[in-house]
Amino acid sequence: MKQAQKHPVRLERQGNIALIVIENPPVNALGAAVRRGIAAALNAAVAHEKTDAIIIAANGRTFPAGADIREFDMEPQEPSLGQLCSLVENASKPVIAAIHGTTLGGGLELAMASHYRIATQNTRMGLPEIHLGILPGAGGTQRLPRLIGPELALDIMLSGNQISAPIALEIGLVDQICEEDLRGEAVTYARALNAARPTSLNRSNLVDGATYMASVNARREKIKLELGANALAPLKIVDCVEAALLLPIDGGLDLERAAFEDCLASRESAGLRHAFFAERAAAKFPEAAEVKPAQVDRVAIVGGGLMGSGIAIAALQSGFAVTLVEQGESGVNEALERIGEFYERSIAKGRLSEAQGAAALTHLQLTNKLDTLNEADLIIEAVAEDFDLKASMLAEIGAVAKAGAVIATNTSYLDLDALAGSTGRPSDTIGLHFFAPAQVNKLVEVGVHDAASAQSVVTGLGFVKALGKVAVRARVSGGFGAGYIGNAILTAYRQAADIMLEDGATPPQIDGAMRAFGFQLGPYQVADMSGLDIAYARRQSTPRDGNSRYVEIADNMVAQGWLGQKTNRGYYIYTDGHRHGVPNGDVLKMIAEYRAQKGITPRKFSDRDIRDRILLAIVNAGARLLGEGVAARPSDIDTVMIHGFGYPRGRGGPMMDADATTPSIIASRMSVLAHEDANIWGAAPVLTMLAQERQRFADLNKA
Ligand code: T1G
């Protein structure tokens, strides 16, 4: 018999105090049923003659972490969160919000509409709506400036960052921090109250209009300067904060509502909300339904180069005990130097305290002895990207690792099945593909192969989550552009760019077009950053594919020793270690000579041509990876491209972008280009299927 669904809101009483308790796991999102429940409970409590005060609290890990984002694309239901907040504020009896966990967005707005706020010591608070391309739409832009002033209010809403409870107390956002028993202390606090205290009547931070407007105007100018005049949500937030001073509360709330609707309807917000759920969906590995991750306390990393030491830092920063194995004294010292430099820089920049830095380093064991690996629960091989070197190292690791330990290789494109075999215990072996710099980049592709056990896979997933990173499950692609999802798509991206380079475009033009589209850096700036020799080594070990044009420009640059930033000369020339270079005239000259040799008459490409050709290649590669089962769903590809390759998050990723154009239009555009390179512009079967069935990639996310 189907169990009756528990109502997400309960009304309890403790003598003359009514308690409205929310229970809507996992994060008590303020969906329609919750809002209706709170409104009904509040009306009942206010009407109850023996009620002197009302507490709003929540069970579970947090006070509401916001409105229910999933409801934004649905038919709105009453009461809206804004209406509920006004109901709370206008209650005739004191309402106290007892908050804990991550009180965010609509949850904090509900607390600010309450007359008093009590928080636990480790509560974190914030209005992160800007990360979803919207703004606080339930009174936050009107009540927060009243409580803490325009400057701090703008800081909180424009950064979307969380603040701690002690800070919130200091700035006047909460009234009291409770020691232990939040509910009990809230009741005691409530019993001492004798009057409601509507936030909207608090004008203490609105009296000095001139200073207030100076904050507003300065912030508006700063945003226009840094983000441009089209920065929708940030500028709307400033408008709303201005309205909090200039308009009565109802006028301000109306303006906020309209601004919220405008932002919600924007393409940017649709993209950001898609990205929010895409990275959470990506972490739903099928293996996780079968088994629990094994406990990982000590992590060992073999290879202390750029990647290995970056992974070590990420693990230290997340509280793991770390063993870093490097060959020989000099290898150990270089690794120690790299890690030491990270902590020095972080302390100098105030990101870490001396104590935090020192504490982290106490968990680091640096050695050149492989037998220390038998203490580790997880061993990550991070030596150079050479098959024989990796296979022999993995064989040694497989020999010393303890029973039950998980072995991972950080290969980015070598044959995972074969490398797993070389450990002698393939079921314990997975891929963990970090992206440089590993201590910063949030993406990790978890490589799965036929022999990998579910336990090993979910243990790898658990480790990546514990690092606070975004995990995406990937099988190794065997087709054009080996590697997991990211590298396979990058190969198509670069091939599309190189073909235009050969036919008439220039590196600065292509980079400019992709930056204008929203990428931080263009493909040739990225090539210079990662080093042309890395990609060259990979091309040398990858058999040429007759279906693709082989563009020799990069090979010729390597032959000249133009390897990018590491030689201060690549597609750009770099001076004094600057990250941004000036176009390298010698490369442009070399490309012109190369075209002449090949009898190519250069032709013009508009920025739109460049962008379209590259995006078509990316989407088509994504479609191929879906067909091969390398990627489980299109939104995983979006997550990889956003976190690993700087695809503009506000667009939601290439596969979401493709749906905006529709697969059938994409397939017809590709058919025009396929003759130029069948591998990157020959429509993948999945794309053809979607086009024929008038379906979208989003339909495959549901699968
Ligand atoms: N709505 C719907 N689902 C949500 C949600 C939300 N606000 N927040 C989290 N979830 C789901 C999430 O998809 C996942 O589901 C599960 O909860 C656990 O989340 C009017 C308009 C709170 C810091 O932007 O930042 O209020 O994958 O894996 O790492 O002004 O979730 O298990 O099926 O992220 O511990 C403003 C968004 C909304 C906060 C917890 N609030 N959430 O992190 O768990 S807009 C936010 C978070 C708003 C008002 C406006 C984080 C978290 P599933 P998780 P976590």
What average pLDDT score do residues 465-490 get?
85
Per-residue tokens: 67: 């409105």
Identify the three-state secondary structure at position 119. Answer: strand
b vs e for 71-94, b when ≥16 Cβ sit within 10 Å of the residue's Cβ? beeeeeeebbbbebbbbbbebebb
In angstroms, how far is the first alpha carbon of the chain from the final one?
Answer: 28
Q: Each residue of 615-674: pLDDT tens digit?
A: 999 999 999 999 999 999 999 999 999 999 999 999 999 999 999 988 889 999 999 999
pLDDT of residue 329: 85
C-alpha distances (whole Å) from 673 to each of 94, 510, 619, 664 are 68, 18, 14, 15
C-alpha distances (whole Å) from 432 to each of 124, 461, 547, 593 are 31, 9, 31, 42
Mutate to test the pocket of ligand 1, among 24, 69, 702 (most ligand atoms within 8 A of CB): 69
Please name which of 150, 141, 72, 83 lies closest in space to residue 112, comparing C-alpha atoms.
141
DSSP at 366: E
Query: Ligand 1 pocket, 293 CB below 6 A?
Result: no
> What residue has token string 């030596």?
383
- pLDDT beyond 70 at 5: no
CA distance linking residue 509 with residue 522, whole number of Å: 9
CA distance linking residue 285 with residue 283, whole number of Å: 6
CA distance linking residue 357 with residue 339, whole number of Å: 11
CA distance linking residue 92 with residue 54, whole number of Å: 10
What average pLDDT score do residues 266-271 get?
97
Contacts of 273 (CB under 8 A, 6+ apart): 69, 72, 132, 133
C-alpha distances (whole Å) from 325 to each of 182, 328, 400, 420, 456 are 47, 9, 13, 20, 22
Of 129, 268, 445, 502, which is the active-site residue?
A: 129
What is the enclosing helix (H) or strand (E) of 235?
helix 232-246
The burial class, CB within 10 Å (0-12 / 13-18 / 19+), for 440 is exposed
Task: Decide if 129 is catalytic.
Answer: yes
Residue pair 534/566 in contact (Cβ under 8 Å)? The answer is no
Q: Each residue of 396-454: pLDDT tens digit?
A: 999 999 999 999 999 988 899 999 999 999 999 999 999 989 999 999 999 999 999 99
Count the Cβ atoms, other than its own, within 10 Å of residue 70.
11
CA distance linking residue 296 with residue 318, whole number of Å: 12
Residue-wise DSSP of 206-232 = TS-HHHHHHHHHHHHHHHHHHH-TT-H
Please name which of 377, 384, 426 lies closest in space to residue 401, comparing C-alpha atoms.
377
Phi-psi region of 465 (alpha: psi -120 to 50; beta: other; left: phi over 0): alpha
Query: Ligand 1 pocket, 56 CB below 6 A?
Result: no
Query: Ligand 1 pocket, 321 CB below 6 A?
Result: no
The burial class, CB within 10 Å (0-12 / 13-18 / 19+), for 305 is middle
- Residue 69 CA, closest ligand 1 atom number: 1
Q: Each residue of 156-209: pLDDT tens digit?
A: 999 999 999 999 999 999 999 998 899 999 999 999 999 999 999 999 999 999
Query: Ligand 1 pocket, 31 CB below 6 A?
Result: no
- pLDDT beyond 60 at 3: no
DSSP at 564: B
Residue pair 41/6 in contact (Cβ under 8 Å)? The answer is no
Mutate to test the pocket of ligand 1, among 27, 129, 461 (most ligand atoms within 8 A of CB): 27
Q: How confident is the model at residue 1 (pLDDT cuts 50, 70, 90)?
A: very low
Lowest mean pLDDT among 5-9, 323-327, 377-381, 460-464: 5-9
Q: What angle do CA 326, 327, 332 make, to 5 degrees?
A: 50
Identify the three-state secondary structure at position 431. Answer: strand
Query: Ligand 1 pocket, 280 CB below 6 A?
Result: yes
Q: How confident is the model at residue 546 (pLDDT cuts 50, 70, 90)?
A: confident
What share of the chain in percent tops pLDDT 70?
98
pLDDT of residue 426: 97
Per-residue tokens: 666: 């994409």
Q: What share of the chain is helix, strand, coil (3-state, %, to 5)?
A: 55, 15, 30
- The alpha carbon of 159 and the centre of ligand 1 are apart by a number of angstroms equal to 17
pLDDT of residue 2: 53
- The alpha carbon of 478 and the centre of ligand 1 are apart by a number of angstroms equal to 36
CA distance linking residue 473 with residue 439, whole number of Å: 20
Nearest CA to ligand 1 atom 54: 280
CA distance linking residue 68 with residue 81, whole number of Å: 10
CA distance linking residue 679 with residue 624, whole number of Å: 10
Q: How confident is the model at residue 544 (pLDDT cuts 50, 70, 90)?
A: confident
Residue pair 222/119 in contact (Cβ under 8 Å)? The answer is no
Identify the three-state secondary structure at position 58. Answer: strand
b vs e for 221-256, b when ≥16 Cβ sit within 10 Å of the residue's Cβ? eebeeeeeeebbbbbbbbbbbbbbbebebeebbebb
Crossing angle between the packed helical segments 485-503 and 607-628, to the nearest 10 degrees: 150
Q: Which residues pair with 406 in a beta bridge?
A: 378
Q: Is the peptide bond before 198 cis (omega within 30 degrees of 0)?
A: no
Please name which of 253, 260, 255, 258 lies closest in space to residue 113, comparing C-alpha atoms.
253
What share of the chain in percent tops pLDDT 90?
90
Q: Which residues pair with 381 in a beta bridge?
A: 302, 409
Amino acid 401 reads: A
What average pLDDT score do residues 460-484 get?
85
- Residue 81 CA, closest ligand 1 atom number: 20
> What residue has token string 């879906």?
626
- The alpha carbon of 141 and the centre of ligand 1 are apart by a number of angstroms equal to 20
CA distance linking residue 252 with residue 312, whole number of Å: 50
Q: Which residues pair with 569 in a beta bridge?
A: 564, 573
Identify the three-state secondary structure at position 619. Answer: helix
Task: Decide if 109 is catalytic.
Answer: yes
Phi-psi region of 194 (alpha: psi -120 to 50; beta: other; left: phi over 0): alpha
> What residue has token string 């800070």?
167
Q: What angle do CA 552, 553, 558 make, to 5 degrees?
A: 95
- The alpha carbon of 70 and the centre of ligand 1 are apart by a number of angstroms equal to 10
Parallel, antiparallel or unpaired: strands 364-367 and 321-325: parallel
Of 23, 78, 109, 502, which is the active-site residue?
A: 109
- The alpha carbon of 65 and the centre of ligand 1 are apart by a number of angstroms equal to 6
Is the sign of the CA dihedral 164, 167, 169, 174 positive or negative? negative
Q: How confident is the model at residue 540 (pLDDT cuts 50, 70, 90)?
A: confident
pLDDT of residue 413: 86
Is the sign of the CA dihedral 521, 161, 244, 71 positive or negative? positive
- The alpha carbon of 27 and the centre of ligand 1 are apart by a number of angstroms equal to 7
Please name which of 162, 60, 48, 35 lies closest in space to residue 108, comparing C-alpha atoms.
162
Nearest CA to ligand 1 atom 37: 65
Query: Ligand 1 pocket, 67 CB below 6 A?
Result: yes
